[in-house]
Chain A
Amino acid sequence: MNGYGAGPALGEARWYDDEAGPLVRLYALTGGRARPPNQVFDLMTLVVAAGPVGDDPSLGPEQAAVLELCALGPRSVAEIAADCDLPLGIARVLLGDLLAIGHIRVRPPLPQAYLFDQAILQEVIDGLRAL
């Protein structure tokens, strides 16, 4: 869908593959921009849709896909890039657009003192054991 890597075959033999690189040049997805308009997107910044995801005709297909993913629950910038099969830099630009028009909310990574609380770490250990 985004042209990065191989998409679904749709019953036909593919004439391109991952090795061929992106079918759509990446700069075309971002309007030529390499950096997001704002600098809030750490790898671990959490993103969530700000409201119900309606049909916004002004969104490109990649932006719409990113927004749809955000509506499923909060996830990190790294996870969004990986799940949408978009390079990190491109995902950051698209998220920057979605933030600027108010479709998403973001939360910077929490401070370590809060994240590395003993109760939380114990929960992680128990969770790993149960995996």
Chain B
Amino acid sequence: MDSGRFDGTRASAGQAAYESGGADARDESFLALKILVAGGFGVGKTTLVGAVSEIRPLHTEESMTQAGLGVDRLLGVEQKNTTTVAMDFGRITIRDGLALYLFGTPGQDRFWFLWDELAQGALGAVVLADTARLPDCFPAVDFFERRAIPFVIAVNCFEGHRRHDPRDIADALDLDPGTPVVLCDARQRSSGKQVLIKVVEHAGRHHRSRQWLGRNRTAEPAAQPTSSRPNSSPRATSTAGPDSSSTPSDRSTTFRRPPGTSTV
């Protein structure tokens, strides 16, 4: 199996293989970065991905025992043990050999277990929020905070919606200081671009500070968010969504993200 791999650090290994092929040695330095686009159902994730990149669906087959336990009625279709989950997928080519991939995460809470694979190695994330339904984005905020994945809150300002002060939204979401909140129009390409730029800038700061912390600590600290929190099982992750979102009565009376949801 190893013989089939090409290694970005060994220039000579792949060269011979590419000489006669459709691809050349330049391919070895091909870089691809991943940004996730999350948020509640119907908040405009597909619109945002579509505005900035060539969008197409990415299907994944998931076992029903994970995806639909207690949700989907299996009466009459007992033999069907997989279900197809569609995600939005987009690619932005920065230059030859450098691409940015966008993954629109599934909006339904029951597909939370999919997020773990999506989040692995992600540069950062956009959490799209709608101020009329702010609690819908609480689960996404919790998810990225728990895994120390840098994210930006992008408030999708639909027409006719009153504009909120980003500081009020940061306060309502109980965000860590430094987490950017931007207003955007997911339909506008220029607006979507600005959101992505914010994510990359924020991720850059985040990784620099982590590197700095890493260099200035002798022992691995317990405060490292990713290492201190136990990895939740897929089942636990899938229930984290519905559990941490507010009940309808909550939604109308309080606007703040309940403090309990940010800790595991």
A78 interface residue (CB < 8 Å to B): yes
In chain B, what residue has the closest Cβ to A90? B61
Contact, CB under 8 Å: B4 / A51: no
Q: Per a CB cutoff under 8 Å, which of B4, B5, B59, B89 touches A79?
A: B89
Q: How large, as a class, is the contact surface on chain B?
A: 35 or more
A123 interface residue (CB < 8 Å to B): yes
B236 interface residue (CB < 8 Å to A): no
Contact, CB under 8 Å: B61 / A88: yes
Interface set, chain A 18-48, CB cutoff 8 A to B: 26, 38, 40, 42-44, 46, 48
B98 interface residue (CB < 8 Å to A): yes
In the assembled complex, the Cα of A79 lies from the Cα of B34 at a distance in Å of 12
Q: Per a CB cutoff under 8 Å, which of A52, A99, A106 touches B21?
A: A52
In the assembled complex, the Cα of A128 lies from the Cα of B211 at a distance in Å of 25
Interface set, chain B 1-21, CB cutoff 8 A to A: 1, 4-8, 14, 17-18, 20-21
In the assembled complex, the Cα of A82 lies from the Cα of B6 at a distance in Å of 23
Contact, CB under 8 Å: A81 / B59: yes
In the assembled complex, the Cα of A112 lies from the Cα of B57 at a distance in Å of 26
In the assembled complex, the Cα of A53 lies from the Cα of B201 at a distance in Å of 40
Interface residues of B (CB under 8 A from A): 1, 4-8, 14, 17-18, 20-23, 27-28, 30-34, 52, 56-61, 84, 89, 91-92, 94-95, 98, 100-101, 103, 117-118, 120-121, 123, 189, 193, 196-197, 200-201, 203-204, 207-208, 211
